[in-house]
Amino acid sequence: MLSKFLLTCTMTASVEESSKTRRWSKYVRDVYDPIQVGSIDGTDEVPHDRALVRAMNSTYRPNRKVRGEPLHTIFVARLAHSVTEEQLRAKFTPFGTIVHARLVTDIITGLPRGYAFIEYSTREEALRAIDRMHGVSIDGKEILVDEEWERRLDGWKPRRLGGGFGGRKKSQQLRFGCKLQPFRRPILETAGGVSSVSEWNRRVRHRQEEEPDRAIR
């Protein structure tokens, strides 16, 4: 009787844990999975572009020079090489108190690498800067502004290794699960239906590929 009770408890706990694991979220939580972020709804099980395969096979160590509170820190990218740290401070100071700002430079040449980290005194200030500055042009280039993820997500892979978040449509390498580009809610499983947006898109592409063959026949 006791063993049956314990088995029932174990099965119940297992179901509850499984339910928690499957709970859908618009954002990536805790762990960065290249296959998941490459999917519009986070449901893909295989990589759909070569860059994702590169991200899966790569090794990345967070930048030790990035300091401060991760939740208060923002990542600024796609910066023109002419942008200086003073310019960055001037552009981002209106949204809160900047504790630290670092324009990343090449170790050998000393030239800017096109991205920076800015830490604010509060998380609210950081989020305000993201909302107001993402997509703004500085020195003729539209910048990307997002949260600083590499110290917050296990397994993080930056854009240059095929990972990251966001991206442009024309690149065919969009990455989802972030504030700027959240996951779309999966399509619910129905009889004869599909389980996700990704599966729906795959079926549409498959039908389009089959149509020319049918016309030839």
Within 38-81, residue ranges assigned H as helices are 50-57
SS3 66: coil
Question: pTM for the complete prediction?
Answer: 0.68
What is the Cα–Cα distance from 20 to 37, expressed in whole angstroms? 19
Q: What is the pLDDT of residue 180?
A: 77
pLDDT at 7 over 60: no
Judge contact between 137 and 130, C-beta under 8 A. Answer: no
Enumerate the β-bridge partners of residue 75: 117, 146
User: For residue 204, how far is the Cα from the chain centroid?
Assistant: 26
What is the Cα–Cα distance from 85 to 118, expressed in whole angstroms? 10
Q: What is the pLDDT of residue 196?
A: 55
Q: What is the pLDDT of residue 19?
A: 39
Q: What is the pLDDT of residue 4?
A: 46
Span 61-88, average pLDDT: 90
Least confident of 18-32, 104-118, 122-136, 187-201: 187-201
CATH number of 68-152: 3.30.70.330
Helix (H) / strand (E) element for 120: namely strand 112-120
Domain range list for the chain: 24-58+157-184, 68-152
Mean pLDDT taken over the chain: 81
What is the Cα–Cα distance from 20 to 23, expressed in whole angstroms? 5
- Contacts by 122-127, CB closer than 8 A, 24 or more apart: 122/72, 122/96, 122/97, 123/71, 123/72, 124/96, 125/72, 125/95, 125/96, 125/97, 126/71, 126/72, 126/73, 126/74, 126/96
Q: What is the pLDDT of residue 99?
A: 97
Residues in the chain: 217
Q: What is the pLDDT of residue 199?
A: 60
SS3 47: coil
Task: Give the pLDDT confidence of 150-190 residue by residue, as tens digits.
Answer: 899 999 998 889 999 988 777 778 999 987 789 998 876 44
What is the Cα–Cα distance from 184 to 26, expressed in whole angstroms? 7
